[in-house]
Amino acid sequence: MGLLGKLLLVSVTLAAVGIGYISYTLNQVPQLPELKSTWWGAGQRRKLDESIRSFKVNISDDILHDLQIRLDLPSHLTSPLENVNFEYGFNTNYLKKVVEFWKTKYNWREREVFLNSFPHFKTYVDGLDLHFIHVKPQNVDKDIDVLPLLLLHGWPGSVREFYDLIPLLTTPRKDVNFVFEVIAPSLPGYGFSEGASKPGLGAAQVAVVMKNLMERIGFKKFYAHGGDWGAVIVSHMGVLFPKSVLGVHSNMCFVNSLSSNLKRVIGSLWPTLFVEEAHVDKVYPLGKHFAFVLEEMGYMHLQATKPDTAGVALRDSPVGLAAYILEKFSTWTDSNWRSLPDGGLTRKYRLTDLLDNVMIYWVTGSITTSMRLYSESFNKAQFALKLDSIPSLTPTGCAMFPNELAYQPKSFVQEKYHKLVRFTDMPRGGHFAAFEEPELLSDDVWETVKIIRSNRDA
């Protein structure tokens, strides 16, 4: 063998070892971490009332009066640049209209009646006073199974996102032998649920708290659906508690393993390596994926590092809070809406409904504690659990909405969800699927659970 031949042989061997090593590393499945119930409340662990208490949304006159005073203060809004809409953030010309509506047309006491149209409850779990909506189906025939379904919202959302969805899940359907009983909690630190007093309550730990909550209510086995953080948490629940979680449905199936991220980076240069031609534009939108991430993910870095600093301003100013939250309802519903004078906000939503969600943050003073979920989920301790790299063996359905922030094709999603029973490319809709497209979403939940149940019977 000549020198060239030997060199070739050595290179081929080295390359083979290298590729073998990389694929071994990429395919290694970390051990499932054992997460124990933790006391997240203030002070030392102590015995708390474990009953389930009925709860009504009923905010004190003092809080509402304080809000009115703040909204009545002379505004100090900086005018937007000429010919700019939402490209630099929430347009203050439009913000003035939102505030005017809030002050003169929006009636919180009426909204409380609406919010209380579902039964609300509270109970102490792991030291935290947690809030949840619990809706049982009415007039169900004996031969219909009633299935508990946990619904989890995300940031900057709330249980308000589920108001149109819930009846679509709790009303029996023709020729379907099951119906849902819905449990929709406010995440810890969100809205009417108490936030942690101690560091460390990240998405993985919230998964434990939510399982404990379901057990408290009386459900050892249940289905779970989520979007945004809710999607991350129900996915973790599927990984951590496959015996409790009968099935997961998500409108933000997102695979965040090393190999999927490599695919995203390499694929942004050479898309057809990983994605069929037809999906290239959605997965790597015009090759602009990373530019989009940089433009739109600043909030995430901020909240993952200094939530308490940003929280001071947002907790102090209802106008600032509305701008911060509603900007997301514009851009995340449709990023093209950044070029509209009103951010497209009333194309799909009513201002009243959007303000309900802002009010849930304002009257509970929960914006800072809500943003801490980012800091607690993006840190070394959480990454060390390696939950993103552990496949889920729980049957899962994914509804992929076209305007979702990071569209992932079925081939990526399957890497994480080994029992992916359904993957739906939705015809329209964005990040706030439950709020935007309750019918499309509920149909997908029903179909997913139908498949899971028939697979089990088979």
Ligand X SMILES: *[C@@H]1O[C@H](CO)[C@@H](O)[C@H](O)[C@H]1NC(C)=O
Least Å distance, CB 110 to ligand X, is: 11
Least Å distance, CB 108 to ligand X, is: 12
d(CA 391, CA 26): 12
Pick 364 or 375: Cβ nearer ligand X: 364
- What does 401-440 look like in DSSP terms, one character per residue? -TT-TT---HHHHHHHBTTEEEEEE-SS--S-HHHH-HHH
CA 181 to chain centre: 20
d(CA 400, CA 212): 29
Q: Is 299 a catalytic residue?
A: no
With beta carbons less than 8 A apart as the criterion, state whether 185 and 132 touch. Answer: yes
Lookup: tokens for 201: 């309550």
User: How many residues lie near ligand X (CB under 6 A)?
Assistant: 2
Pick 47 or 56: Cβ nearer ligand X: 56
Q: Is 374 a catalytic residue?
A: yes
Least Å distance, CB 113 to ligand X, is: 8
d(CA 140, CA 389): 41
* 138 contributes a contact to ligand X by CB under 6 A: no
Pick 364 or 408: Cβ nearer ligand X: 364
Least Å distance, CB 56 to ligand X, is: 5
Q: Is 431 a catalytic residue?
A: yes
User: Minimal CA–CA distance to 318: which of 18, 13, 108?
Assistant: 108
Least Å distance, CB 331 to ligand X, is: 36
Residue 181's contacts (CB-CB under 8 Å, 6 or more residues apart) are: 134, 135, 136, 137, 146, 147, 148, 149, 170
* DSSP H or E segment with residue 150: strand 145-152
From 124, 223, 374, 407, the catalytic residue: 374
d(CA 111, CA 99): 17
Pick 60 or 104: Cβ nearer ligand X: 60
| Strand duo 222-226 + 178-185: pairing | unpaired
Pick 342 or 356: Cβ nearer ligand X: 356
From 349, 417, 431, 444, the catalytic residue: 431
Q: In this structure, how many other beta carbons lie within 10 angstroms of the beta carbon of residue 2?
A: 7
Hey, is 289 helix, strand or coil? helix
* DSSP H or E segment with residue 53: strand 53-55
With beta carbons less than 8 A apart as the criterion, state whether 225 and 446 touch. Answer: no
Pick 112 or 129: Cβ nearer ligand X: 112
User: Minimal CA–CA distance to 361: which of 308, 323, 333, 322?
Assistant: 322
**Site map (CB under 6 A) of ligand X, residues 21-60, x = contact:** -----------------------------------x-x--
For the chain, what is the radius of gyration of the CA atoms? 23
Beta strand ranges found along 209-273 (DSSP E): 222-226, 245-250
Pick 58 or 78: Cβ nearer ligand X: 58
Task: Indicate the Cα dihedral angle 342, 347, 349, 355, nearest 10°.
Answer: 10
Least Å distance, CB 128 to ligand X, is: 23
CB-closest chain residue to ligand X: 58
Pick 31 or 58: Cβ nearer ligand X: 58
| HSE-CB for 6 with a 13 A CA cutoff | 3
From 124, 153, 223, 228, the catalytic residue: 228
Summarize as ranges the residues that interact with ligand X (CB under 6 A). Answer: 56, 58
Q: Which residues are catalytic?
A: 228, 374, 431
